[in-house]
Amino acid sequence: MSTREKVGWGIGGLLIVVYCLFPVAWIISLSFKSSDDISNGQFLPTVFSGANYEQILVGDAAGLFLPALVNSFGICIIATFISCLLSMFAAYAIARLDFPGKKLILSTALAVAIFPVISIVTPLFNLWRQIGLYNTWPGLIIPYLSLTLPISIWTLSAFFREIPWEMEQAAQVDGATPWQAFRKVIVPLAAPGVFTTAIIAFFLAWNDFVYGISLTSTEAARPVPAALGLFSGASQFESPNGPIAAAAVIVTIPVVLLVLLFQRRIVAGLTNGAVKG
């Protein structure tokens, strides 16, 4: 690449990064502004104030935010875990076994994934109220599975297909039962795939708003995105933008951490050297 090309690519890349990260930077800046500063139209706060964070962590909004944070973590982790476990078996079957209806399962999964959430939330609201799932953790975990399972099955079955079948056959010849071969050979090899899937599933659940706001009513099960919508200002004449920005920043942190922690596992080509080279 010539210097000119390098510079061109550099500038292009920078533009895209700035374009993508500007809203994030804006929210971070917003979260440090005091309530007087919020609508002053400047990018940087005149004084850096921790008041917004104080408000959501220990102040008035803490009662709304902290339980929601616990709910979000609990519900999303459980939903992710269940979805990974189920999709691992489903994807393995899809990748390895020949059974009637394989195509049907995959296309149904796709259909579920593209089905608009908003259209099922009302019937679900009624149903949940009648069977007592309304405003409970399972009441959110179950719909979250419908969000996360299809995509998990699709990504994981792609990963499983990549694993050379010889691995498993070698394990079987070496004396492994099909279950042992799955557990000791396939699962470790699919680990990067499982991590990727888990992260995608977690984000899907973590970012959900429609189910969160519709199927909960109190802090017993309300997740963060729904709680953010219910923030109010110190008085009714004050907009709650500051605390919302602060909460948004806090909510973003686990997502960023997750990616940073696992990006090496996601990228790692673990199957390198497995077969001929």
Partner 1 sequence: MASIEMSHIVKQYGDGFPAVNDVSLDIADGEFMILVGPSGCGKSTLLRMIVGLEDITSGDMVIGGDRVNDKAPRDRNLSMVFQNYALYPHLSVFENIAFPLRLAKVPDGEVKKRVEEAAGVLELKEHLERKPANLSGGQRQRVAMGRAIVRSADAFLFDEPLSNLDAKLRGQMRTEIARLQRRLGITTVYVTHDQTEAMTLGDRVCVLRKGVIQQVASPRELYEQPVNLFVAGFIGSPPMNFLPASVEGTSLSTPFGTVELGAERAEKVKGHDLLLVGIRPEYFEDASLVDEAKKPHGTTFSARVDVTEWLGDAQYAYIPYEAPAEIAEQLKALSRELDSDQLRTQAVVSIDSTSRIREGREAEFWLDTRKVHVFDPKTGENLTRDAEAGRKLTEEAAEDRIEQVERAKV
Binding positions for partner 1, rule: CB under 8 A: 164, 166-167, 169-177, 180, 184-185, 188-189, 191, 270-277
- 268 Cβ neighbours under 8 A, 6+ residues apart: 192
Q: How far is the CB of 189 from partner 1 (least distance, A)?
A: 6
- CA distances in angstroms from 30 to 22, 97, 207, 241, listed in the order given: 12, 53, 21, 8
Q: How far is the CB of 91 from partner 1 (least distance, A)?
A: 19
Cα angle 91, 93, 94 (rounded to 5 degrees) comes to: 60
Contact status, residue 76 vs residue 202, Cβ threshold 8 Å = yes
- Candidates 120, 116, 119; CA nearest to 142 is 120
- CA distances in angstroms from 186 to 139, 172, 270, listed in the order given: 33, 12, 12
Closer of 39 and 180 to partner 1 (Cβ): 180
Q: How far is the CB of 185 from partner 1 (least distance, A)?
A: 6
Closer of 23 and 277 to partner 1 (Cβ): 277
Q: How far is the CB of 272 from partner 1 (least distance, A)?
A: 4
Q: How far is the CB of 201 from partner 1 (least distance, A)?
A: 23
Q: How far is the CB of 274 from partner 1 (least distance, A)?
A: 4
Closer of 101 and 116 to partner 1 (Cβ): 101
Closer of 62 and 167 to partner 1 (Cβ): 167
d(CA 195, CA 198): 5
Closer of 172 and 252 to partner 1 (Cβ): 172
Closer of 235 and 272 to partner 1 (Cβ): 272
Contact status, residue 171 vs residue 185, Cβ threshold 8 Å = yes
- CA distances in angstroms from 203 to 145, 151, 195, 243, listed in the order given: 12, 12, 12, 22
